[in-house]
Amino acid sequence: MRLLTLYAHLIKGNLLNGIQYRGWPIMILQVMVVVVTDPLGTILMFSRFGSIGEWSVARILLIYALAVTAFGLSESLCRGLDYFPFHTLRSGDFDRMLLRPASLTVQAAGSVFHIHRFSRVFSGLIAIAWCLRELHIPMGAREWAILLLTLTGGFLFYSGIFLLTCAISFFTIEATDWIYMLTNVSYQTTRCPPEFMPRALRGVFTFLLPILLISYYPACTLCRWGEAPWKGFLALPIGAAFACGSLLLWRFGVRHYKSTGS
């Protein structure tokens, strides 16, 4: 409870500072335009060539929207972790965090908050609602539970990736841009139907970088596409396990941190 109170206090301060910035409505519009136009290529392709077998544009966009919404939640609520390697650590702000009697993880996650990043979340939720309507999926308690577990698991997974980046930055703050392949680029893979992926690539996105476990398999369970139903409930435990592993690496990095000036 104390951690939630601390996080809420940090977010409140950052939110008030952000609202005082007159350019934030324009920033929201910019992010919204980018998010809305991102899947436009897929929509135009399907409008020209029609469905690919059983794969319609609604099916593809549902899988994509689940992943992008989860990423948007993590990017919005844990924005401080994204800034940590390139700002908090280099500027020496982390040294001040070490002096405070509070959770370092919560301090780092809540140190930056940009309200315009919620544009990705809102757009993703609208896309999910549209896809479910197009696919004629009745929303009962089971469906709402799957959706909630999927987004929570995806949030934990992407937060774990951000935390993993922070852990690596304790040992090197150079050449860490490759990590964005696991965040901003990773959800782009969901626009390719898994059955058309090479077997090796599908294995990577299932077991090594479990993007499909937080998007494709939950969509299959939600819409009853033929996969084993239990696979759709793996998003939360897989996301939690990934986040816990990243947290252990983060704590390992904190123990070996020697201050900015050393």
In this predicted model, which residue has the larger pLDDT, 234 or 6? 234
- CA of 14: how far to CAs of 18, 95, 98, 156, in Å? 6, 20, 20, 22
Centroid of chain to Cα 169: 20
Q: In the chain, what are the domain boundaries?
A: 2-255
pTM across the whole model: 0.88
- Per-residue pLDDT reduced to its tens digit, 24-63: 566 666 666 666 677 777 777 776 677 777 888 899 999 9
Per-residue pLDDT at 218 exceeds 90:
yes
How do residues 122-158 score in pLDDT, each as one tens digit?
A: 888 988 999 999 999 999 999 999 999 999 999 999 9
Query: What is the distance between the alpha carbons of residues 157 and 254, in angstroms, rounded to a whole number?
Result: 21
Find tokens 């690539």 and name the residue.
Answer: 201
pLDDT surpassing 60 at residue 202: yes
